[in-house]
Structure 1
Amino acid sequence: MVIGLLTLEFHLPGCRSLKEKRHRLSGLKQRFGRLANIAVSEAGFHDRHQQAQWCFLGLASDSKGLEQLLAPIETYAASQLDAVITQRSLERL
């Protein structure tokens, strides 16, 4: 088994409230929080309107499976959210 931690940091240009921030990023939890082998959490910048950090913990049988599991998260975040990914890291635990 392989465990991976994908951390994404976002900039939300023009975001003026925490409520708006949660709304703009809510698709992450709704879309990926339901999957049995992924845990999703807003991990940082809780009090900043224009910044966010989200972590995704994934479990797969091998490294290739882990990449296939986590890659759609980054693709979705980059193309579907009203936010810009400013930093990305992937740790194998």
Structure 2
Amino acid sequence: MRIGILTLTISLPGCGSLKEKRQRMGGMHQRYGRNPSVAVCESAERDNLDTSQWTFVVTGHSLPEVESLCSEIEDRVQRSVDGRVIETAREIL
């Protein structure tokens, strides 16, 4: 079994409240938490209105499977979130 940790830092320019921030992030837990191979949480910048950081822990039987799922998550976040991914970090254990 392989484990991947994907951390995305997202810029939310013009965000004026925590409520707006939650709306712009658009249900990350619901979208990615349904997959039994993925755990997701807002890992930093919780009180910062214009930045959000999310960490995804991905498990799989092989390295290519974990890397593929990490890439899929990264692509979907970039397309679906009303913000801009400014930093990406990956670690494979």
Q: What TM-score, normalized by structure 2, do the two folds share?
A: 0.95
Find the residue that maps to 1:43 and give its secondary structure: strand
Say if 2:66 is the partner of 1:66: yes
Which deviates the most, 36-45 or 64-73? 64-73
- What's 2:87 paired with? 87
Taking the TM superposition and a 5 Å limit, the aligned residue runs for 1:15-26 are 15-26=15-26
Deviations 1:41-64 (A, max 9, x none): 000001110000000000011110
Cα distance in 2, alignment partners of residues 23 and 33 from structure 1: 17
The structural deviation recorded for 1:68 is 1.5
Taking the TM superposition and a 5 Å limit, the aligned residue runs for 1:1-93 are 1-93=1-93
Q: Which runs of 5+ in 2 are unaligned?
A: none
Runs of 4+ in 1 over 2 A off after TM superposition: none
Q: Which runs of 5+ in 1 are unaligned?
A: none
Does structure 1 retain, via aligned residues, the 8 Å contact 2:26–2:81? no
Which deviates the most, 21-30 or 38-47? 21-30
- Give the AA of the match of 1:72: E
> Percent identity among equivalent residues?
39
Deviations 1:12-58 (A, max 9, x none): 01110011111111332221111101000000001110000000000
Find the residue that maps to 1:15 and give its secondary structure: coil
Output the aligned Cα RMSD.
0.9
